[in-house]
Amino acid sequence: MSPTVRHPKRILLRSGKSPYDVFSVEQALHQDVIATNSGNLIFQDAAHKILETPDTEVFSNGGRTEVAAAARINAEYDAFVVPLANAFRPSFEVALQRLTRLISKLRIPVVVLGVGAQTGVGYDAARLKRIEPTVRAFCSAVLERSASIGVRGEFTETYLRDMGFKDVEVIGCPSLFMYGNELDVRKEVPGLTADSRIAINGSHSAVAKQGLGRVITRTRERYPNLRFIGQNLSDARQLHWRDLSDPVASRVTAMPTHPDHPMYQEDKVRVYVDPITWIDELRPFDFSFGSRIHGNIAALLAGTPATVLCGDSRTLELCRYFEIPHQLLDKVAKDPEATDPARLYEQADFSGLTGNHRERFERFTGFLDKNGLQNTFTHGDGGAAFEKRMRSLSFPPGVRPWNDTDLASLTTRFGWLHTQVGELSKDNDRLRRELARSKRAKDAVPAPAASVYRRARRVVGRALHPGK
């Protein structure tokens, strides 16, 4: 049964951090505020902006979903809003179960924005059969606390309806509504040339298994002003720390974020820990393409034309819904001409994306209204106060490859490590005293400081022997 619709005054938003929180690069990576993928912050920040009105405050939960926090959430907030991406996938099952346990304890409305199921571009849901009980439990818990559940696109809608859920609405992703019913994307140049500024993006899987590595290599040879934009936490750690501890990422040397890749050595790689800097730095680019949906949405929000090379259902259904220019990665990766940016740029048609954006925005705000949520574009100042506050803050620039050993670079990194080791040493001293008093030291010896010491040794070694 759906709860009575009311307008909440205090919303708890599932997000890695508040848009207003400024973290240094070191802090952001250490705390993983991007929840392993910086694309998460784009739709989370958009949701925060959209839901913040003169009558409504929005608070980030920092990505924490402890069931023990349910009583406090019930007491302090009027609604729990959950923007999600490809949450219906086997690798996210444990996290989804944990989220379901929390939601089951809540007495306040719970609204899901843009959840998606992930399978191949053929939309075969067979690989999701194993997690169906988990998905069913999650959707049931949500729909007991909301009027409907918002999904990313056609595949997820069919997937849930086939399970018997009727209150399912296709609303896309909040990210493309960051500026409300306005979305201005246009080709500023008649065609791309060797001098054009081009951004490319992609996952480790797309690079290693779906042919994107070849596309990157060919594009780098033709377009010297190419920049690769990574999104994973491992990408950022490779750039900032030359950290190769991730067993998967360290093996994919064709990924430009890997220290052995030529683009890394040419300083043509970035990872952003804040959407505002990400979008701003894409504004002067002529074109963006690759397999990352939010990497290309960041470009579209900047007004930069983009084409998505779809490798799975989560990117494909979102491209189809928003009418984003796209190609199937497995069909074009082997053809050098098919993936040449100049050709993709020429083929890209943005009339559906921009021309039908207002209709999709009204559908999205209608979903919010149905679930008792106000939005800044209808009930507020259109996000003006949000944008003014964001522009008053000083966010760190994009994470760049660590190719230098100059004193300033070393000082910044070592200073942070020194501070972390000091703090962990204090924590360890406190824990030792507590353990000594409880006489259970053997069962709970703390280990966090050791990992920081190991990382410090690795960083020092790379600084002193950069060729290794």
Residues 6+ apart with CB under 8 A from 15: 40, 41, 44, 45, 47, 48, 60, 61, 62, 63, 83
- Of 89-103, 179-193, 380-394, 408-422, the one with minimum mean pLDDT is 408-422
- Of 216-220, 285-289, 405-409, the one with minimum mean pLDDT is 405-409
Tokens of 60: 């980030």
Do the beta carbons of residue 117 and residue 79 sit within 8 Å?
no
* Domain co-membership, 375 together with 442: no
Residues 6+ apart with CB under 8 A from 346: 191
pLDDT at 454 over 60: no
* Domain co-membership, 30 together with 75: yes
At 8 the pLDDT is 67
* Domain co-membership, 220 together with 122: no
* Domain co-membership, 459 together with 436: yes
Radius of gyration of the chain, Cα coordinates, nearest whole angstrom: 23
At 458 the pLDDT is 55
* Domain co-membership, 202 together with 79: no
* Residue after which a domain boundary falls, among 391, 415, 438: 391
Asked whether residue 187 is domain-assigned, the answer is: no
* Domain co-membership, 132 together with 169: yes
* Domain co-membership, 272 together with 421: no
Distances in Å between the Cα of 372 and the Cα atoms of 4, 55, 114, 186, 379 are: 9, 13, 16, 35, 12
**Which residue type, as a one-letter code, is found at position 317?**
E
Do the beta carbons of residue 265 and residue 466 sit within 8 Å?
no
Specify the pTM. 0.88
Neighbours of 33 (CB within 10 A): 23
* Mean pLDDT value across residues 444-468: 48
- Cα–Cα distance between 282 and 302 in angstroms, integer? 6
* Mean pLDDT value across residues 286-313: 98
Do the beta carbons of residue 146 and residue 112 sit within 8 Å?
yes
* Domain co-membership, 16 together with 144: yes
pLDDT per residue as tens digits for the range 3-39: 455 566 999 999 999 999 999 999 999 999 999 999 9
Q: How many domains, the chain?
A: 3
At 467 the pLDDT is 44
Distances in Å between the Cα of 409 and the Cα atoms of 337, 399, 401 are: 41, 12, 11
Of all helices (H) and strands (E), which one includes residue 113? strand 110-113
- Cα–Cα distance between 429 and 32 in angstroms, integer? 25
At 237, which CATH number? 3.40.50
What DSSP character marks residue 82? E
pLDDT per residue as tens digits for the range 156-213: 999 999 999 999 999 999 999 999 999 999 999 999 999 999 999 999 999 999 999 9
Cα dihedral 208, 211, 214, 216 sign: negative
Do the beta carbons of residue 69 and residue 99 sit within 8 Å?
no
Q: How many CA atoms lie within 13 A of 199 on its CB side?
A: 30
* Domain co-membership, 338 together with 367: no
Do the beta carbons of residue 79 and residue 61 sit within 8 Å?
no
Asked whether residue 208 is domain-assigned, the answer is: yes
Decide: residue 163, CB within 10 A, 0-12 exposed, 13-18 middle, 19+ buried.
middle
- Of 288-302, 326-340, 434-448, the one with minimum mean pLDDT is 434-448
Do the beta carbons of residue 260 and residue 277 sit within 8 Å?
no
Asked whether residue 249 is domain-assigned, the answer is: yes
pLDDT band with cut points at 50, 70 and 90 for residue 314: very high
Asked whether residue 192 is domain-assigned, the answer is: no
Mean pLDDT, rounded, of the chain: 91
Residues 6+ apart with CB under 8 A from 338: 327, 331, 332
Do the beta carbons of residue 118 and residue 341 sit within 8 Å?
no
Which residue reads 């954006």 in tokens?
357
- Domain of 21 in residue numbering reads as 10-180+355-391
Tokens of 397: 């620039």
* Domain co-membership, 376 together with 310: no
Asked whether residue 280 is domain-assigned, the answer is: yes
> In 338-459, at which residue ranges do the beta strands (DSSP E only) sit?
none
**Which residue type, as a one-letter code, is found at position 62?**
G
Asked whether residue 260 is domain-assigned, the answer is: yes
Beta-bridge partners for 269:
228
* Domain co-membership, 245 together with 337: yes
* Domain co-membership, 296 together with 423: no
Asked whether residue 139 is domain-assigned, the answer is: yes
Asked whether residue 1 is domain-assigned, the answer is: no
Decide: residue 53, CB within 10 A, 0-12 exposed, 13-18 middle, 19+ buried.
buried
199 phi and psi, to 5 degrees?
Answer: -110, 140
What DSSP character marks residue 97? H
pLDDT per residue as tens digits for the range 137-150: 999 999 999 999 99
